[in-house]
Amino acid sequence: MSAFTIKNKIIAPPTIDGVIKWCVDSPKNDEPIDSDNIESNGIELSGWFLSEIGKDIQLVALEGSRVTPIELNIERHDVIEVVLNECSTSHPLLMCGFKTILDVSSQFFQIGYIRKGHFNTLIEFELKGALEIIEGQGNWLFLDNDTNNSVEQFTGKLKLSRPDRAEWKNYFRTLLDLQETCGFHVCMLIAPSKEMVFPQYYPFERGKNTAIDQVLNLVPEKLDVIFPVRVLQESEKRSYRMCDTHWSHYGSMKASIEVASRQKTDISELVELFKNDHYKTKYVTGDLGNKIYPNKKHDEEFLASFNHQRYVVFDNKLPNFGRMRVIYYDNAIYDEVLLILGSSSSYTLFNYLCRVYKIVVFVHCAGNIDISFVKAISPDHVLTQSNARFIIRPPSVDENYFTYIEEKLDSAFPSSPLLNQELFTTSQNDKLTGIIKFVTQNDQNSLDKI
């Protein structure tokens, strides 16, 4: 289900040649509606229309090239008496009201009238999603007018301020300090925006110096920061989804290999493992395609031979920031712990990285750092992950992840965490036990099951 708002724009004045007065009561401007409702029930059109007697005028709805007659089928005594200031009894224009259902199959439609073979628009309607969508070449969809100003970042019109650059320097220093003092490997993965990987489909030119360029120029020599544009461009299969902002499953596999290659000297085993994966094609929409009506869809390949969900030991199921998930896969290549401090692009990495590292702990925090949390997990590797469009706001180094959770619960989000008791018990892994007890410290329901 996708949420839309109906926007209208009045084109004709209340009185126009051959038309005495008119009014459309519904749909109203800014009226919310969802795609399932539109597809199941259509959109209700109602109002009234007074035309001069004897004029050959037909009220219609126009959607693309499809013309749907609107019959005047309701007596409107109020219109005759208030608008015309005449007695409504037996008035020749009494049947001036209309109420009908329009089956809508496109984003735009109009109400108007036909006179002498010509269509005259009275009012225009548009179904608008929460975000604007750019329709690029070859049916590729891109994000527009988002809070991160993606277009302005790409074109170089929006850059990092001096204080922003100072915060990024401090962030990178903090990652290096953690690596040096705690003894685990730290790297950062920045998921490129789709237009950076496929600029040939994007209607704007990339700026010579952009915000992401500024960030990459600040990276210390000893810190691994992965921005895999070229790898994703050269991928054997399409690395991004056509109707979504995120990389495809195949693209996330490529990114996972890049992460592992910074943490391990020999990645031949996992490369061979991923080569044997099987994918299934599905005709789907995405977080961009579902902002357009009718929803845009495209064939996408999804990993079919492995699903990390079977190995999730704990998931607090909170939306976005504050979500925590612990995955345990006993057949992983390395008996190690990977801590991912990531964002929405991290979720498809789980299918690959959990087969590399036996325990994967994830916090949805867009790379923000809670130093005490990281030290408590005591991982072998730390991966911070953010999306390129987020980098205009430098990540924080003094967060408290449990505050994220408390704020969500205070906002009336239901607390229904998942704890896979069977997997947890049969693992007999002391490291896993310690991690589960730590991440569930604010959830008595989960603690009671341990």
Kindly report which listed range (20-24, 54-58, 266-270, 365-369) carries the lowest average pLDDT score. Answer: 54-58
Inform me whether the pLDDT recorded for 446 exceeds 70.
Answer: no
**pLDDT tens digits, one per residue of 362-413:** 999 999 999 999 999 999 999 999 999 999 999 999 999 999 888 887 666 6
Please tell me the distance from the alpha carbon of residue 247 to that of residue 196, in angstroms, as a whole number.
12
Q: Which pLDDT does position 264 carry in this prediction?
A: 87
Q: With pLDDT > 70 as the criterion, what percentage of the chain qualifies?
A: 96
Q: Which pLDDT does position 142 carry in this prediction?
A: 96
φ/ψ of residue 435, rounded to 5: -65, -45
Mean pLDDT for the chain?
A: 93
In this structure, which amino acid lies at residue 331?
N
Q: 387: which strand partners?
A: 191
Residue 87's contacts (CB-CB under 8 Å, 6 or more residues apart) are 80, 81
Rounded average pLDDT over 66-77: 95
Greater confidence (256 vs 65) lies with 256
Residue 353's contacts (CB-CB under 8 Å, 6 or more residues apart) are 256, 259, 260, 338, 340, 360, 383
Rounded average pLDDT over 313-327: 94
Q: Which pLDDT does position 449 carry in this prediction?
A: 56
Rounded average pLDDT over 296-307: 96
Helix axes 249-263, 268-275, angle to 10 degrees: 170
**pLDDT tens digits, one per residue of 237-253:** 999 999 999 999 999 99
Q: Which pLDDT does position 257 carry in this prediction?
A: 97
CA 322 to the chain's CA centroid: 17
Could you tell me which of 378, 355, 352, 354 has the C-alpha nearest to residue 430?
A: 378
Task: Encode 423-440: b = buried (16+ Cβ within 10 Å), e = exposed.
Answer: bbeebebebbeebbeebb
- Tally of CB atoms within 10 A around 193: 24
Binning pLDDT at 50, 70 and 90, where does residue 221 land?
A: very high
Binning pLDDT at 50, 70 and 90, where does residue 417 land?
A: confident
**H or E stretch covering 197:** helix 194-197
Task: Encode 272-298: b = buried (16+ Cβ within 10 Å), e = exposed.
Answer: eebeebebeeeebbbbbbbbbbbbbeb
Binning pLDDT at 50, 70 and 90, where does residue 448 land?
A: low
Binning pLDDT at 50, 70 and 90, where does residue 106 land?
A: confident
Q: Which pLDDT does position 13 carry in this prediction?
A: 94
Q: Which pLDDT does position 27 carry in this prediction?
A: 94
Pairing of strands 108-115, 118-128: antiparallel
Rounded average pLDDT over 49-73: 91
Residue 252 near residue 370, CB atoms below 8 Å = no
Rounded average pLDDT over 337-362: 97
Binning pLDDT at 50, 70 and 90, where does residue 187 land?
A: very high
Residue 2 near residue 34, CB atoms below 8 Å = yes
**H or E stretch covering 125:** strand 118-128
Binning pLDDT at 50, 70 and 90, where does residue 81 land?
A: very high
Rounded average pLDDT over 307-328: 95
Q: Which residue has the tokens 């800014």?
A: 30
Could you tell me which of 342, 349, 337, 428 has the C-alpha nearest to residue 380?
A: 337
